[in-house]
Amino acid sequence: MEQIRILIIEDEANIAMVIKLELEYEGYTVEIKEDGRSGWEAIQKEEWDLILLDVMIPHISGIEVLRRLRAGDNQTPVIMLTARDAIVDKVTGLDQGANDYVTKPFEIEELLARIRACLRSAAGKKDQKDDDTLLTFLDLSVNTKTREVKRNGNQIELTPREYDLLVYLLEHPKQVLTREQILEKVWGFDYFGETNVVDVYIRYLRQKTDKPFETQLIHTIRGVGYVMKESK
């Protein structure tokens, strides 16, 4: 199992070392940076599963490090380490995208619990994101990240337009889609051709995703359009 990597950005050496030793005892891989500049460089160069970020650090403040991190759409979980009476720092950190904060001095058990909670939450979001890349209907699946199309375990090769058409149908299962709707979403607003182009591509798609298999998934609704549904 791959070890979880945690970056500590903390200028108080004693605190940083205590946290590091406790985390390593729990099985995490840990690295310490003592100022905002070196911490930001470590963030840019490597991937981390979680960052413990002190607010008051030299060169670049913890808040600025966090702001840069989120501005770059980096969603690595961040737990801010703040002084007990620094309410403004806590609010600012949360507003800038911190996942949690711990006030100093803190019990190590509390910090470990908050780290576990953040890691669980991040893992859940990652699983959700992975699920979002897979569109399925019965035994037909499309991985929108790799553009891989399979039915009953068999890989299907589609042209870019056939692929876009299939994805649109899968995004609206059991919903009757008119030819005009399909044209707008698959061909775009600037398409000025005839709507029968939809019928042509539906036929192409059926040849690959329906005809070789027992169950038909793409159905014609006469006078209206098409629907992805299970055969009765």
Say which residue, 1 or 107, is predicted with more confidence.
107
The first and second tokens of residue 17, run together, are 């070392």
- Same domain? For 138 and 202 the reply is yes
| CA dist 7 → 19, 48, 194 (Å) | 11, 7, 58
Q: Are 26 and 111 in contact (CB under 8 A)?
A: no
For 201-224, what is each residue's pLDDT tens digit?
Answer: 999 999 999 999 988 999 999 989
Question: What integer pLDDT is reported at residue 105 of this predicted model?
Answer: 86
- Same domain? For 152 and 213 the reply is yes
Give the CATH number for residue 157. 1.10.10.10
Q: Which domain holds residue 17?
A: 5-131
Of 99, 131, 163, which one is at a domain's C-terminal end? 131
For residue 178, pLDDT over 80 is answered with: yes
Q: Are 127 and 121 in contact (CB under 8 A)?
A: no
In this structure, the dihedral spanned by the alpha carbons of residues 8, 12, 17 and 22, taken in order and rounded to 10 degrees, is -70
In sequence order, the β-bridge partners of residue 134 are 143
Bridge-based pairing state of the strands 5-9 and 29-33: parallel
- Same domain? For 100 and 117 the reply is yes
Helix locations, 133-176, DSSP H = 160-171
- Same domain? For 98 and 116 the reply is yes
What CA–CA distance (Å, rounded) separates 114 from 108?
Answer: 10
- Same domain? For 189 and 222 the reply is yes
- Chain centre distance of CA 2: 19
For 113-144, what is each residue's pLDDT tens digit?
Answer: 989 988 888 776 665 555 568 899 999 999 98
For 47-101, what is each residue's pLDDT tens digit?
Answer: 999 999 999 999 999 999 999 998 887 889 999 998 766 676 777 778 888 888 8
- Same domain? For 140 and 116 the reply is no
Residue carrying the six token digits 């720092």:
89
Give the CATH number for residue 77. 3.40.50.2300
- How many folded domains does the chain comprise? 2
Bridge-based pairing state of the strands 78-83 and 50-54: parallel
- Lay out the sheet containing 100-104: strands in order across: 29-33, 5-9, 50-54, 78-83, 100-104
- Same domain? For 89 and 147 the reply is no
Question: What integer pLDDT is reported at residue 96 of this predicted model?
Answer: 82
Closest CA to 53 of 40, 41, 45: 40
Long-range CB pairs of 201-204 (<8 Å, 24+ gap) are: 201/161, 201/162, 201/165, 202/165, 202/226, 204/159, 204/162
- Same domain? For 114 and 206 the reply is no
- Same domain? For 84 and 140 the reply is no
Of the chain, the percentage scoring pLDDT greater than 90 comes to 59
- Same domain? For 146 and 111 the reply is no
